[in-house]
Structure 1
Amino acid sequence: MWGPLRNAAPPILAKSCTILSFAAPALVLAAQSGHFRRMDQSRFESLKSRALALWRAHGRETPVPGLVLTVSEVPAGPFHGLYRTSFCGVLQGAKASHLGERSYRYNAGECLITSLDVPVRAEITEAAPDAPYIAFAMDIDPGVVAELILELAAGDPASLPEPAALSVHPLSDRLIGPLERLMALAEEPRDLPVLAPMIQREILWYLLTGPQGAMMRQIGLTDSRTARISRAIAWLRAHYTGAVSVPHLAALAGMSPATFHRHFKAATAMTPVQFQKSLRLQEARRLLLSEGADVAQVGFAIGYESPSQFSREYRRMFGAPPGRDGAEIRRSLAVDARA
């Protein structure tokens, strides 16, 4: 996944929301408490056991396409990464994800819906050897959501609320059964390619018709504000080394510059320029993991003309200058590899 340093930096690749990142407490947005007590505890425990067994057998990447698992016996992070459009649920422990100045905290029995590919900071906040953090993430296919919207005969997209990149919700009881069946398919290679898409479609239907429905419609409707902003984000990810032109991005989104700027910040908690800077610096950190990567060369590769500005903004985001931060990360990875 990590390639060598090149003169032209590659497009930013997004990951599912089990990728973990940094914490900076600010505005906290979380689901209402109390739903966990209403959940079928025995079925929830069965799902948790299934997920843990699947992780022990296969690790993070499961045989089920688009489904990954995270298990940790200790609090972890901060880390930086990109969340892609996905449905993530915590089965044990707790996690916090941070987008700009917004913080989203979710515990066992809660889920995070990600509607846009966005750069985040996140951390596992609760985990222990006798009660490890256990979570799953399933990719959301906007095309499948669009098909389901036709079945739902949803209303006028103009009535949809302001888009948001992240949102926390209770993990509803009716999602537990299909999630466990989806995980069980990992051990059924003959059935997996036929049944997995059906079960994933069932899960997306329950999300579309549940408390997350408005957000899911934003994902599936091709002319929704979320879809329009997503087009601009895709362009930023592919061209993050160049200058940001808000009028150009607005044209891609089919909005006036002022309207685009307002909706982009409402969805991502960042301006387009701040979004691009986050993409650049996360790519710089990735490149610095390569042994012998020159700090100035990395800065130029991601679009900075001034080495001092690159070092200053890198330190502001990651808490250490690029050379030292890269060396510390490589050293910690070497320790982990020997452990």
Structure 2
Amino acid sequence: MTTVRGDGENDLGGIFSGVMAVCPYAGSCECLPTIADARNRVEVDRLDLLPEPISRVAKPKKGPHDPGMDELLEKMRDRVIAHVDGIHTETPIPNLSLGVVRQPLIPETAFCQPMVCVVLQGVKQVLVGGHLIRYGTAHSFASAVELPATGCVLEAETDKPYVAVGLTLDHAMLANLVTELPPVSTLPQTMGFGVATVSQPLLEALDSLLALLDRPDDIAALSKGREREVLYQLLRSPHAPMLRQALSVDGQLARIREVIQRIRQQVDTSLSVSALAELAGMSVPSFHRHFKAATGMSPLQYQKTLHLHAARKLIVASGDAARTAYAVGYESPSQFSREYARLFGISPARDAARFRQGAGPTAFGLV
């Protein structure tokens, strides 16, 4: 398991150490991420953080301290807290979500759309496939493809909450922006997700978008222009190579994104790796390598995870585990229940009951 860090404060592997479990599927399928072990290690009033040796991957470099950035972060935090108190809260501004969390959360799993999350205060940790990613104040996590991930807020207090802003990426707007920027001769191969230090221009653009929450009558007329400015700054940030790869017709990441869309369209079918490789225009070994680089997991693992996320939506509505298992392509309800519990940390029946009682999991997807 590799670790990508965005806070750089210590070398604690955190609550996700040991969260991979053996997959019972036949063959050489890689295991699905599980939060069951992590749940068992959360005490009543604190997270039990365990030391773990890590290897740092693409750790963002800290720039010189800028008092002006501190003032801007504080202003943005106050603005967010004035409008929301909760996680993954949608706003009247299209594509914009806010999050304010006042205590550490146990890990939850979700399927994230292409997005960027900017942390204004606190620390969050996310597990994508075998990649452990921790990021904190003045850092951003971005993904160019749809990702199943498990995450939790690690640092949050009543008087110093975790505060974050999430923006779903508008693919069409990004593509239009790229045509107006100077061309790049070569694009480096990148993962489909990553963490980076945010710049002051990016924060200023995001704050300008947030300011419309104080003037709701202006949202319809001004939000798209301000959202475009945020995306422009993202295309000038360390996330730019990844975003350009996802937008480039010939880019490996763009082809993987097309495959992901096909997988999501046929969620009740298990597509063979060879068929997916053909769709991507790659050999099977090359496709497997590029897919895992983009999503953090193998094509088969991704499909199984997607099936289980689709099943979660169905089972909440019906409460029928057996019927749900067949609907998402499983032949064995018992195997489905085992896989479901491994991924979500709870049986299908109990999970459906939690939702009906209004005590379902916190959706951390964007923020």
Query: TM-score scaled to structure 2, two decimals?
Result: 0.78
Query: What CA deviation, in whole Å up to 9, does each residue of 1:89-131 have, x standing for no partner?
Result: 0111111111111111110110011110111111111111111
Shift in Å at residue 41 of structure 1? Answer: 1.1
* Residue identity opposite 1:225 in structure 2: Q
Q: Which residue of 1 aligns with 2:11?
A: none
Question: Are the aligned partners of 1:162 and 1:263 in contact in 2 as well (CA < 8 Å)?
Answer: no
Equivalent of 1:79, from 108, 124, 140?
108
1:301 aligns with 2:330: no
- Aligned with 1:34: secondary structure? coil
Question: Are the aligned partners of 1:163 and 1:225 in contact in 2 as well (CA < 8 Å)?
Answer: no
Q: Which residues of 2 match residues 151-162 of structure 1 at below 5 A? A: 151-156=180-185, 159-162=186-189
1:96 aligns with 2:122: no
Shift in Å at residue 68 of structure 1? Answer: 0.6
Q: Which residue of 2 aligns with 1:11?
A: none
Q: Which residue of 1 aligns with 2:284?
A: 257
The answer to which structure has the higher helix fraction is 1
Q: Distance in 1 between matches of 2:240 and 2:350?
A: 45
1:219 aligns with 2:219: no
Q: Distance in 2 between matches of 1:160 and 1:47?
A: 33
Q: Distance in 2 between matches of 1:37 and 1:266?
A: 33
Q: Distance in 2 between matches of 1:56 and 1:267?
A: 33
* Residue identity opposite 1:296 in structure 2: A
1:316 aligns with 2:321: no
- Aligned with 1:71: secondary structure? strand
Q: Distance in 2 between matches of 1:77 and 1:69?
A: 19
* Residue identity opposite 2:205 in structure 1: P
Equivalent of 1:167, from 166, 186, 194?
194
Question: Are the aligned partners of 1:27 and 1:103 in contact in 2 as well (CA < 8 Å)?
Answer: no
Question: Are the aligned partners of 2:141 and 2:195 in contact in 1 as well (CA < 8 Å)?
Answer: yes
Q: Which residues of 2 match residues 228-307 of structure 1 at below 5 A? A: 228-290=255-317, 293-307=319-333
Question: Are the aligned partners of 2:125 and 2:132 in contact in 1 as well (CA < 8 Å)?
Answer: yes
* Residue identity opposite 1:44 in structure 2: L
1:134 aligns with 2:163: yes
Query: Tell me, which stretches of 5 or more residues in structure 2 are unaligned?
Result: 1-33, 39-51, 363-367
1:149 aligns with 2:174: no
Q: Which residue of 1 aligns with 2:142?
A: 113
Q: Distance in 1 between matches of 2:287 and 2:73?
A: 42
Shift in Å at residue 35 of structure 1? Answer: 3.9
Query: What CA deviation, in whole Å up to 9, does each residue of 1:262-300 have, x standing for no partner?
Result: 10011112111110100111222333333x612211211
* Residue identity opposite 1:75 in structure 2: P
- Provide the alpha-carbon RMSD of the alignment: 2.7
Q: Distance in 1 between matches of 2:326 and 2:72?
A: 53
Equivalent of 1:66, from 88, 95, 105?
95
Equivalent of 1:34, from 57, 62, 68?
62
Q: Distance in 1 between matches of 2:350 and 2:230?
A: 44
Question: Are the aligned partners of 1:36 and 1:109 in contact in 2 as well (CA < 8 Å)?
Answer: no
Question: Are the aligned partners of 2:246 and 2:257 in contact in 1 as well (CA < 8 Å)?
Answer: no
Q: Distance in 1 between matches of 2:57 and 2:351?
A: 30
Q: Distance in 1 between matches of 2:90 and 2:58?
A: 28
Identity rate, percent: 36
1:193 aligns with 2:220: yes
Residues 229, 334 of structure 1: alpha-carbon distance in 2 compared, 3 angstrom cutoff: closer
Give the length in aligned residue pairs: 313
* Residue identity opposite 2:320 in structure 1: D
Query: What CA deviation, in whole Å up to 9, does each residue of 1:313-336 have, x standing for no partner?
Result: 223223343334443554561899
Shift in Å at residue 167 of structure 1? Answer: 0.3
Query: Tell me, which stretches of 5 or more residues in structure 1 are unaligned?
Result: 1-20
Shift in Å at residue 137 of structure 1? Answer: 0.6
1:47 aligns with 2:76: yes
Q: Which residue of 1 aligns with 2:25?
A: none
